[in-house]
Structure 1
Amino acid sequence: MQIITYILLGFFFLNIVFAVITVFREKRDIAATWAWLLVLILLPGIGFIFYLFIGKKMTREKIFDIKSQENIGMPELVQAQKEMLAEDENLLSAKQATENAKEMASLFLESDESILTKGNKVELFTDGAQKFNSLIEDISKAEHHIHMIYYIIHNDKIGKRVLKALEERAAAGVDVLVIYDALGSRSLKPNFFKTLKKLGGKAETFFGSKFPLINLRFNYRNHRKIVIIDGKIGYTGGFNVGDEYLGEYKKFGYWRDTHLKIQGNAVLALQSRFLMDWNAAVPKHKLEYEENFFPLIDKKGHTNVQVVSSGPDSDLEQIKKGYIKMISMAKESVFIQTPYFVPDDSVLESIQIAVMSGIDVKIMIPNKPDHPFIYRATMYYAEAMAAVGAEVYIYDNGFLHAKTVVVDGDICSIGTANFDIRSFKLNFEVNVFIYDAKIAQQQQNFFYEDMKKSYLLTKEIIDNKSKWMKFKQTFSRLFSPIL
């Protein structure tokens, strides 16, 4: 027994030593460092397996490879858009934007080189069937190219419908390129795209593995959802490709999400993002600038738009900064919808300050988890916000997956980024920041309609939770920096 005791003590001592060495040899923020130390020390041996899959940072070589794509074929687009903007004395005319919007536009120009585009037509979808019917109809009319990124593509009814539409256009000579995330679409077999490839289309995984069943890269996933058709029509938002997004999974029920269809020069920014992701993902078939990829489009509407990207290839956390800026500028209201509410301290404090300043802050989250551990952390932070005076609504009509922010009914953000650290730091995301009171108020009205299908998180509900549930929420919160 004494020998066994010494062996165990030695094992635990070595585990602590290796835990410290493992965590501190990579540069990361303090909160994530302590969270990983907690995992590695509390779960000897097993913790290192978790770290192998979700803790390892992206190599400098890979980051450099991704960042280097930004200069491939982009100067032509950037210069053309700058010339268009130079015609106006200000980024936004007085009729079309407040000072807040001008500050937001300047922030993204500096942090993300995100060019503001004017005269876009923007259409919002909150229902999966409507979104996919519109998308498939537009795909069927493509003449030159279809470029597509989805985090999740399933081999199910809607997946096959989308694939069939792509195959038909590829057979007609349209250039079809598809990126799907290797982890998000892990159930998808490569032969799903066999016919598409025979017809001349291409489909590539993002951060795939040489061993299909083993992918050590749980982090740094491409969570973007982008479709560009002929450089003239763009789609982005929360919907992936799968039957659950049509509300056909009993587990989730009705799927409430928000997606955008954009016509106008903002599509060129989505195109730029796609080309960078394609060139970062594929070992060959690299793309260069083509005029047909970036057709300058006549005015389609009246909406001013900036497409903003963020990801682990940059330390600037551009979308998070956009959220903080929006919240800090609010004079009347902040409405947030997100399936995962696990903010870092900077975002949390910006919301707290808004609430304590008398701003009407409303937050809406789902009533059920698709990832239980993350949902417990979400509930912890939701209750913390309710405690300081924010109104927290629990959507009770299925599953809420929308990622939206509306400030003062004047500016809104819709995209792929959740209100959590994973979206801010670990995933590749894209959001559309919209400077149009009409669209912002439309999104705010969606929020009010959703409130009718939600219930308010009250002090009574919080107090009546079991001690075991409160413990799970508090415990989950400890790991929020790495969730």
Structure 2
Amino acid sequence: MTAGRISGFFKSFLVFSLVVLQVFIMVVAVHFLRHYFAFIYALLEFACMLVIVMLINENDNQVYKFSWAMIVAILSVSGLLLYFLWGRSSKNRKIRRKIDMIEERSKKFLRRDPQVVDRLGLEEPYLKKLSVYLDAEGFPLYADTDGSFYPVGEQFFDALFCDLEKAEKFIFLEYFIVYRGQIWDRLYEVLKRKAAEGVEIRIMYDDAGSITTNTRSFVSELKTDGIKHIAFNPMYRYVDRLYFNYRNHQKIAVIDGNIAYTGGINIGDEYANLYKKHGHWKDCAVRLEGEGAWGLTRIFLEMWEFSGGVETNDYSIYYPTKKGVGKGFYQPFADGPTNNPRNPAETMYIQMIANAKDFVYITTPYLTPDERLTDTMITAAKSGVDIRIVTPNIFDHWYTRFITRSYYDHLLKNGVKIYEYTPGFMHSKMILSDGKSAIVGSVNLDYRSFYLHYECGVWMCNVPLAEDIKKDFENIFGVSDEISLERWRKRPWTDKAIEMGLRVFAPIM
């Protein structure tokens, strides 16, 4: 039985049960072999030391390696099990080779225009290097693009459905989460109708993120209605194939190659505030029309092939056929675990903060910055740059609340301002620097986004919608609670203890 044939609930239960069962078997085995305890203990200690040495020699983030080393050292048997299932980076090397082949084949379809970069250099000389960096990573800069910003999910879905109704050639959808509900029902009606009209429909969703949706009936419906589909990185019933890491967190929608969307919004009712478990769900997205849309289309096509979809030999059939007339520059980019330790998403955040002169505003649902990013923010704050980070006041998981807040004290005492979005859950992922450059995408300020997930976003410079983003930030600050260092240090000691305990596991949660 394949993963697609297992119901969402049973698959979730199976994943959990197998892990618990395997740990239980190992514990029982040690108990009944207690006469050989000294030998077994020595063997386990040697195995732990060997794994820690292997970790030290891996080309990964230092804090991420330290966290795994702590887990292996403290949990011993179960720590080793967890590491060999989900901590090893050896799988990355195999994946990297496959991605390299796909990227090499797609290079001829990049549509680079050196004159666009030169124009950016004339307008913003000190920001040109950010664009040159992304270009070197395989993500060209585009002009001739109209951009729109949507500060809430309701506006995003209205615009998306309007564009979907006008589709004539193809619709590409890629989301981490696809939940059944009012939004999906409305979307599926459009997709079915368009497929019947001869429009090519492709939808890609992450198997872990959409675990309760990716059922036999769901897949059957898609096949029956002529919709091409892929579940990214399937989770299997076999323990050694349970890929909790390396998830596809990207959010992309493409219509006829001329229009593309990205941001933090998935396909689900909560993103449109039709379901309010965590108060008001604050999210955002951007829409590109024109040349810039191609950057997101190409990212989708590469991920489709990487996920096992049919190889597209000629990407040019999906080129945009219309040019936008908007001002400014747009540079879509992607990131993933195979880039470690070279991570475009984190590098762009660091460079935007380091190059800021007046202010940097950031929203993120999860805050676990590594040392490099933390030092950059603190250095900028101490240099007089107004650094503000907005996190949720109502969190989606109890442990993310404590882990996120465990970083407040160090940042606050070094001049970084922190706000909590009091109306509900802050899920937006965006950064604005000096009102000139911005990123909107799927990237959180945490280890998973920077090192374990496939992500995407759009870097924008001197675009009209930057003013809309700034207004959104101002509105957010107006309804958020600014955390002062004095008040923060008066929080209950129990919170401090939990924060300290969970902080060790931050890079892998």
1:20 to 32, 49, 52: 49
CA deviation profile, 1:289-330 (whole Å, cap 9, x unmatched): 243301353233113100111111213101111111100001
Residue type of the alignment partner of 2:118: N
Q: 1:196 corresponds to which residue?
A: 222
Residue type of the alignment partner of 2:54: R
Q: Secondary structure at the match of 2:460?
A: strand
Q: 1:70 corresponds to which residue?
A: 103
Q: 1:263 corresponds to which residue?
A: 289
Q: Distance in 2 between matches of 1:212 and 1:267?
A: 39
More helix by share: 2
1:312 to 322, 334, 337: 337
Structure 1 stretch displaced more, 190-199 or 452-461: 190-199
Q: Secondary structure at the match of 1:343?
A: coil
Q: 1:90 corresponds to which residue?
A: 118
Q: 1:351 to 1:59 in 2, by over 3 A?
A: closer
Contact 1:121 1:301 in 2 (8 A): yes
Q: 1:120 corresponds to which residue?
A: 145
TM-score (norm 2): 0.87
Same amino acid, percent of matched pairs:
27
CA deviation profile, 1:191-220 (whole Å, cap 9, x unmatched): 224333223221111111343999511111
Contact 2:121 2:127 in 1 (8 A): no
Contact 1:128 1:245 in 2 (8 A): yes
Q: 1:169-188 to 2 correspondence within 5 Å?
A: 169-188=194-213
Q: Distance in 2 between matches of 1:479 and 1:12?
A: 25
Q: 1:394 corresponds to which residue?
A: 420
Q: 1:239 corresponds to which residue?
A: 265
Q: 1:56 corresponds to which residue?
A: 88
Structure 1 stretch displaced more, 375-384 or 340-349: 375-384
Q: 2:3 corresponds to which residue?
A: none
Deviation of the 1:375 alpha carbon:
2.7
Contact 2:44 2:76 in 1 (8 A): yes
Q: Secondary structure at the match of 1:342?
A: coil
Moved >6 Å (runs of 4+) = 3-6
Correspondence 1:363 to 2:395: no
2:78 to 46, 52, 59: 46
Q: Distance in 2 between matches of 1:170 and 1:178?
A: 12
Q: Distance in 1 between matches of 2:269 and 2:501?
A: 33
Q: 2:494 corresponds to which residue?
A: 468
Residue type of the alignment partner of 1:224: Q
Q: Secondary structure at the match of 2:311?
A: coil
Contact 1:391 1:457 in 2 (8 A): yes
Q: Distance in 1 between matches of 2:267 and 2:167?
A: 19
Correspondence 1:30 to 2:30: no
Q: Secondary structure at the match of 1:388?
A: coil
CA deviation profile, 1:144-171 (whole Å, cap 9, x unmatched): 1111110000112212221221111111
Q: 1:223-302 to 2 correspondence within 5 Å?
A: 223-282=249-308, 284-302=309-327
Q: 1:89 to 1:421 in 2, by over 3 A?
A: closer
Q: 1:407-426 to 2 correspondence within 5 Å?
A: 407-426=433-452
Deviation of the 1:178 alpha carbon:
0.9
CA deviation profile, 1:387-422 (whole Å, cap 9, x unmatched): 111211010011100111111111111110111121
CA deviation profile, 1:68-117 (whole Å, cap 9, x unmatched): 11133440x22xx33xx2456814263xx32232121112112x121110
Residue type of the alignment partner of 2:445: F
TM-score (norm 1): 0.92
Q: 1:159 corresponds to which residue?
A: 184
Q: Distance in 1 between matches of 2:175 and 2:227?
A: 16
Q: Distance in 2 between matches of 1:258 and 1:390?
A: 23
Q: Distance in 2 between matches of 1:190 and 1:99?
A: 54
Q: Distance in 1 between matches of 2:276 and 2:117?
A: 54
Deviation of the 1:379 alpha carbon:
0.7
Contact 1:334 1:406 in 2 (8 A): yes
Q: Distance in 2 between matches of 1:378 and 1:467?
A: 16
